[in-house]
Amino acid sequence: MLKRLTLSGLFLLILAFGYTTIMGRLGGGPAPTLALDQPNKQADLITVNKQERRMFLWREGAVLAEYRIALGAAANDGAKQQEGDEKTPEGRYFIDWRNPKSMAYLSLHISYPNPEDEASARQKGYSPGGNIMIHGLPNGWGWLEPLHHLWDWTDGCIAVTNSEMRKIWTLVPDRTPIEIR
């Protein structure tokens, strides 16, 4: 009986991995258009409060939008220090590029590591890591939107729902500063 349960669990794990791999290759569809024609509606700052699991988009000192977020699986253990630690970085960065075909629904790249992060990690003898993003759910898993914020599940990224990510994509131009606290 235990062997049958183990084989069933292994089968489900393989099935989920295969589904995720296929959906990751298909992507989440076309990216929305940036609101370049409405610069007064675009964010000029993003702030992230890790403790409260909230992200805010700001324009001229006023909140444009607020989102519940999921973070790196080890986010409660402080700032990111090295590759693979599953922590979300802390500090001031900026959005430096975007990926409409990422494995998670749309993604905005955060400029981590900055020179201080790199120096700190190298001094300790390890890589600081990178590829930290604001993104939606893994492609094909959008039906989990109502549950995404109940636990920290990323490798250090900041996750929102897919519908929220579509809105963020249009409101956040490249070079927007982001403060993660």
The number of beta carbons lying within 10 Å of the beta carbon of residue 53 is: 16
80-122 pLDDT, tens per residue? Answer: 989 999 999 999 999 999 999 898 999 999 999 999 999 999 9
Question: What is the pTM assigned to this prediction?
Answer: 0.81
Beta bridge mates, 48: 55, 180
Least confident range from 6-15, 84-93, 170-179: namely 6-15
Per-residue pLDDT at 141: 64
Domains assigned to the chain? 2-180 (2.40.440.10)
Q: Are 116 and 1 in contact (CB under 8 A)?
A: no
Specify the 3-state DSSP secondary structure of 145: helix
For residue 33, what are the contacts with CB-CB under 8 A and spacing of at least 6? 170
131-154 pLDDT, tens per residue? Answer: 999 999 998 866 767 778 789 999
Q: Which residue has the higher pLDDT, 23 or 101?
A: 101
> Once rounded to an integer, what is the mean pLDDT over residues 63-68?
97
10 Å CB burial of residue 13 (0-12, 13-18, 19+) is exposed
